Amino acid sequence: MKCRDMERYITLFINDKLSGMRMKQFIEHIEECSVCFDEMETNYLLKEALLRLEKEGSYDLHGDLMEKLKNTKRCVEVHEMVTMIRRVILICAGMALLFELVFVYAFYL
Q: Which residues would be at the binding site for Zn ion (CB under 5 A)?
A: 3, 33, 36
Q: In this complex, which beta carbon is closest to Zn ion, that of residue 3 or of residue 104?
A: 3
Q: In this complex, which beta carbon is closest to Zn ion, that of residue 41 or of residue 56?
A: 41
**Greatest C-alpha distance within the chain:** 111
Shortest Cβ 47–Zn ion spacing (Å): 19
Q: In this complex, which beta carbon is closest to Zn ion, that of residue 3 or of residue 97?
A: 3
Rounded CA separation 7/109 (Å): 98
Rounded CA separation 69/85 (Å): 24
Q: In this complex, which beta carbon is closest to Zn ion, that of residue 27 or of residue 101?
A: 27
Do 47 and 14 touch, CB atoms closer than 8 A? yes
Shortest Cβ 36–Zn ion spacing (Å): 3
Do 37 and 30 touch, CB atoms closer than 8 A? yes
Rounded CA separation 77/3 (Å): 63
